[in-house]
RNA sequence: GCGCUCGUAGCUCAGCUGGAUAGAGCACCAGACUUCGAAUCUGGGGGUCGGGAGUUCGAAUCUCUCCGAGCGCGCCA
């Protein structure tokens, strides 16, 4: 088990709370005030010091004191702290803290000691979390639309693991229902084609893609023409199983090339194969009084041409925050997709997950409320389902939209993207947006080697750091080449030599990382890591260039090995955090990019 | 008609779950390479945070309302 690594903001927050408690003990303010709203956060302006707390403003009302007076009292005690250089009261009652340089250097030392475990935390307390993502239908290869969900879900899973949750990555195989039926029929058609029959154009409603040909070919190889003589009821299960196996093998390959390795593939069909788990889940809800037979008003908006008013089996979703009650059975008596999904989520509950995260595409947004309602009903309100909607990806090439024809079965596959730009660049780009913002993905820009391409810019920062180590060989022959050993070696450097404003700014930026990781994990927003890494790289590039104008600021100073060591320690800190963050995102951190 | 998401600089977007004078990149203008990687950096102009009202010490952030865009609205998954 890895210990929680250092987080200087948490340390200072504890100190602020301790001071408040001390003031209560002294009778300055009442006992038992709510300290939960107190925060310590980085300041936006350097003039405001390193970090600021709202403690006085939050406690003032209940304490019966003015925020400024209370702030004075708290600041007075804080300024006596060993880490604090200055505590000032500003504005409506902010307590602005400037830390001693020792605070930053000891944080850097902690970083080097922890290595790429810096930022790792025990926040999640090993709580099981199920993250379900991608879940593409096995009716064809993964296309680019799935990439965003894959990158997002996988990075989120990494992030949660990094912050101490027990994560299961899950892929739901939609291998039941009408679309799979269509796939089976498409496969059978290709089978006849493989046997030499002229099948003409692929009928509407079937899958026209070339990839179905493999199904026909394999069936021919294994069964020659024997399937032709069998009735549909007999050949269909055979074709269906073969088609799903072929498609899933393909999808697993694609996932792997994206760096995604699910822990669990859950088959929708399995819900009804050995015992009817869907019926069981509905019964379970019925016993809780959440299922009834009744009628629904006709759907508003887009007209439903074959609408018939009838009594049906309904889930009382309105009791759990949804807008209408939801049907569980179709008119032919089969289950709706929602019914299967209820059984599926019940399985997650039964497997011990009280925290579930589903990653869905934007077109499923209207489905969120009912699923959350179902989870509430199934768990008696104990479990929580967070649904992350990832918005559309607009594919561009040098600013021009990439044309795709779904009708002809032509689309950009996940494999196409990985082959052209690489999985790392794809993942970073997909994560350089909030999940609920539409994203422009430009094939040309992702490969560009410029500041305009954040993937490159961040990776270049990492490579530049390694370049310094390579150049340090002559001045510091003892410097280990291995990253882990070098971290340990540099942790002993005289860090108190790091006094330049640019150096301190970098140490500050590095110290933000653990706090940022935690907030990103709590918000389920991995894109915050990407933006942070961009800022860190920017700070690093900027400091690098200062050494051009002012040679005494360079990392390697020929006749001063001690300060060189200290500065290399700083570079190592940058390299380590960049590598750590890129690792969480699932993006490689290259040592050189020539 | 209803629900969800979004609306922030000319463009593309951040904004750390309510904090101080709202940030970054691109584009535009002006600068820095006998150099640890100039694939980089420095400086400059540019905003009624879609409009309006409310909540409070304090709102881009929360509530309501209107405007605009995207997605969805039994028997597709």
Mean pLDDT across A378-401 = 93
Q: Where do we find the tokens 């561009």? A: A396
Q: Write b or e for each residue in A312-330: b if 16 or more Cβ atoms lie within 10 A of its Cβ, otherwise e.
A: bbbbbbeebebeebbbbbe
Mean pLDDT across A260-288 = 96
Rounded to an integer, what distance in angstroms lies between the CA atom of residue A115 and that of residue A111? 6
Supply the pLDDT for residue A409.
61
Under the banding of pLDDT at 50, 70 and 90, the label for residue A47 is: confident
Mean pLDDT across A365-379 = 95
Q: Which distant-in-sequence residues (6+ apart) come within 8 Å of A115 by Cβ?
A: A483, A484, A487, A576
Residues 271-310 of A with CB under 7 A from strand B: 295-296, 299-302, 304, 306-310
pLDDT in tens, A459-476: 999 999 999 999 998 889
- Contact call for residues A412 and A393 (beta carbons, < 8 A): no
Q: Which distant-in-sequence residues (6+ apart) come within 8 Å of A451 by Cβ?
A: A457
Rounded to an integer, what distance in angstroms lies between the CA atom of residue A348 and that of residue A130? 8
CATH of domain A8-99: 3.30.1360.70
pLDDT in tens, A274-286: 899 999 999 999 9
> Which run of H or of E encompasses A266?
strand A264-267
Query: Helix A277-287 vs helix A337-350: angle between axes, to the nearest 10 degrees?
Result: 80
pLDDT at A3 over 60: no
Find the Cα–Cα–Cα–Cα dihedral A334, A173, A134, A202, rounded to 10°.
-80
Q: Where do we find the tokens 């005494």? A: A552
Q: What is the mean pLDDT of chain A?
A: 93
Q: Is A93 left (phi over 0), alpha (psi -120 to 50) or beta?
A: left
Supply the pLDDT for residue A2.
46
How many Å does it take to go from CA A73 to C1' B57? 18
The answer to ipTM > 0.90 is yes
Strand B proximal to A337 Cβ, under 7 A: yes
What are the CB-based long-range contacts (under 8 Å, 24+) for A67-74? A67/A92, A67/A93, A68/A92, A68/A93, A70/A29, A71/A95, A73/A23, A73/A28, A74/A16, A74/A19, A74/A20, A74/A23
Q: Strand A291-294 vs strand A312-315: parallel, antiparallel, or unpaired?
A: antiparallel
- Contact call for residues A139 and A183 (beta carbons, < 8 A): yes
Residues 165-194 of A with CB under 7 A from strand B: 174, 176-179
How many Å does it take to go from CA A239 to C1' B77? 20
pLDDT at A4 over 80: no
Under the banding of pLDDT at 50, 70 and 90, the label for residue A406 is: low
Q: Which residue's CA shows the smallest distance to C1' of B36? A: A468
**Domain at A105-116+449-585, CATH homologous superfamily:** Isoleucyl-tRNA Synthetase; Domain 1 (1.10.730.10)
| Residue ranges of chain A assigned to CATH 1.10.730.10 | 105-116+449-585
Supply the pLDDT for residue A452.
87
pLDDT at A304 over 90: no
How many Å does it take to go from CA A131 to C1' B13? 27
Give percent of chain A above pLDDT 90. 85
Instruction: Name the nearest CA neighbour of A362 among A285, A434, A436.
Output: A436
Strand B proximal to A39 Cβ, under 7 A: yes
Tokens of A548: 């051009």
Report residue A447: phi and psi, to 5°. Answer: -95, -5
Q: Which distant-in-sequence residues (6+ apart) come within 8 Å of A211 by Cβ?
A: A140, A141, A247, A250
pLDDT in tens, A509-560: 999 999 999 999 999 999 999 999 999 999 999 999 999 889 999 999 988 9
Higher pLDDT, A399 or A427: A427
pLDDT in tens, A156-184: 999 999 999 999 999 999 999 889 999 99
Under the banding of pLDDT at 50, 70 and 90, the label for residue A407 is: low
Supply the pLDDT for residue A45.
84
Residues 119-148 of A with CB under 7 A from strand B: 137
Rounded to an integer, what distance in angstroms lies between the CA atom of residue A449 and that of residue A216? 44
Decide: residue A389, CB within 10 A, 0-12 exposed, 13-18 middle, 19+ buried: middle
Strand partners, A250: none
How many Å does it take to go from CA A234 to C1' B29? 75
Higher pLDDT, A407 or A10: A10
pLDDT at A231 over 90: yes
Higher pLDDT, A593 or A566: A566
Supply the pLDDT for residue A102.
94
Edge to edge, the sheet with strand A439-442 lists A400-401, A393-397, A439-442
Residues 79-108 of A with CB under 7 A from strand B: 90-94, 96
Q: Where do we find the tokens 């003589």? A: A229
Supply the pLDDT for residue A1.
41
Alpha carbon separation from A537 to A171, A541, A578, A581 (Å, rounded) = 34, 6, 8, 11
| Residue ranges of chain A assigned to CATH 3.30.1360.70 | 8-99
Q: Write b or e for each residue in A97-136: b if 16 or more Cβ atoms lie within 10 A of its Cβ, otherwise e.
A: bbbeeebbbbbbbbbbebbbbbbbbebbeeebbbbbbbbb
- What is the dihedral sign for C-alpha A125, A126, A128, A132? positive
What sections of A437-496 are H helices per DSSP?
443-447, 454-472, 483-490
- Looking across all nucleic acid strands, the nucleotide with the smallest C1' to CA distance from residue A173 is B77
Rounded to an integer, what distance in angstroms lies between the CA atom of residue A110 and that of residue A65? 39
Give percent of chain A above pLDDT 70. 98
Tokens of A50: 């390193």
What are the CB-based long-range contacts (under 8 Å, 24+) for A317-322? A317/A369, A317/A370, A317/A373, A317/A374, A319/A290, A319/A373, A319/A377, A320/A372, A320/A373, A320/A374, A320/A376, A320/A377, A321/A369, A321/A372, A321/A373, A321/A376, A322/A369, A322/A370, A322/A373
Rounded to an integer, what distance in angstroms lies between the CA atom of residue A311 and that of residue A425? 52
Instruction: Name the nearest CA neighbour of A141 among A405, A416, A389.
Output: A416
Supply the pLDDT for residue A549.
85
- Looking across all nucleic acid strands, the nucleotide with the smallest C1' to CA distance from residue A341 is B77
């Amino acid at each position: 088990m890895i210990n929680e690594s250092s987080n200087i903001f948490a340390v200072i927050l504890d100190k602020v709370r301790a001071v408040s408690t001390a003031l209560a003990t002294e009778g300055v303010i009442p006992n038992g005030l709510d300290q939960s709203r107190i925060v310590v956060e980085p300041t936006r302006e350097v003039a405001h010091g390193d970090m600021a707390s709202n403690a006085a403003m939050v406690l003032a009302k209940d304490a019966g004191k003015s925020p400024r007076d209370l702030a004075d009292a708290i600041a007075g005690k804080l300024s006596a702290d060993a880490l604090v250089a200055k505590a000032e009261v500003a504005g409506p009652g902010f307590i602005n803290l400037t830390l001693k340089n020792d605070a930053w250097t000891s944080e850097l030392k902690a970083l080097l000691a922890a290595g790429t475990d810096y930022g790792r935390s025990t926040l999640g307390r090993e709580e099981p979390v199920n993250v379900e993502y991608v879940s593409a239908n096995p009716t064809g290869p993964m296309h680019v639309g799935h990439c965003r969900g894959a990158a997002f879900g996988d990075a989120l899973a990494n992030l949660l693991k990094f912050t101490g949750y027990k994560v299961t990555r899950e892929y739901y195989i939609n291998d039941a229902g009408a679309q799979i039926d269509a796939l089976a029929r498409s496969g059978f058609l290709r089978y006849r084609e493989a046997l030499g029959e002229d099948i003409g154009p692929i009928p509407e409603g079937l899958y026209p893609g070339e990839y179905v040909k493999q199904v026909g070919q394999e069936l021919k190889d294994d069964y020659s023409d024997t399937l032709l003589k069998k009735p549909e009821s007999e050949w269909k299960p055979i074709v269906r199983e073969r088609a799903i196996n072929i498609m899933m093998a393909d999808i697993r390959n694609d996932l792997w090339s994206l760096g995604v390795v699910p822990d669990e593939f859950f088959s929708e069909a399995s819900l009804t194969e050995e015992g009817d788990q869907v019926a069981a889940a509905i019964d379970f809800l019925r016993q809780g009084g959440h299922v009834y037979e009744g009628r629904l008003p006709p759907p508003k908006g887009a007209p439903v041409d074959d609408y018939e008013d009838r009594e049906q089996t309904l889930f009382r979703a309105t009791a759990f925050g949804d807008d209408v009650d939801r049907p569980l059975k179709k008119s032919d008596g089969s289950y709706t997709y929602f019914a299967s999904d209820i059984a599926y989520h019940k399985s997650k509950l039964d497997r011990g997950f009280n925290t579930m995260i589903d990653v869905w595409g934007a077109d499923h947004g209207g489905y969120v409320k009912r699923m959350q309602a179902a989870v509430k009903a199934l768990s008696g309100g104990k479990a929580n389902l967070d649904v992350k909607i990832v918005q559309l990806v607009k594919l561009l090439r040098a600013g021009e939209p990439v044309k795709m024809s779904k009708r002809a079965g032509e689309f950009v596959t996940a494999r196409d993207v990985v082959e052209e730009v690489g999985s790392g660049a794809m993942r970073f780009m997909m994560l350089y947006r909030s999940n609920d913002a539409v994203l422009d993905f430009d094939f040309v820009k992702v490969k560009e080697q410029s500041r305009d391409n954040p993937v490159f810019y961040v990776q270049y920062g990492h490579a530049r750091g390694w370049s310094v180590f390579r150049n340090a060989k002559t001045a510091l022959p003892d410097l280990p080449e291995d990253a882990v050993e070098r971290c340990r070696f540099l942790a002993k450097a005289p860090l108190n030599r790091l006094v330049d404003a640019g150096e301190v700014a970098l140490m500050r930026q590095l110290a933000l990382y653990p706090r940022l990781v935690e907030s990103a994990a709590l918000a389920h927003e991995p894109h915050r890591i990407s933006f942070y890494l961009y800022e860190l790289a920017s700070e690093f590039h900027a400091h690098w260039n200062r050494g051009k104008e002012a040679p005494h600021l360079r990392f390697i100073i020929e006749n001063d090995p001690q300060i060189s060591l200290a500065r290399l320690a700083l570079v190592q800190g940058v390299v380590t955090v960049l590598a750590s963050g890129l690792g969480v995102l699932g993006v490689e951190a290259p040592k050189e990019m020539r």
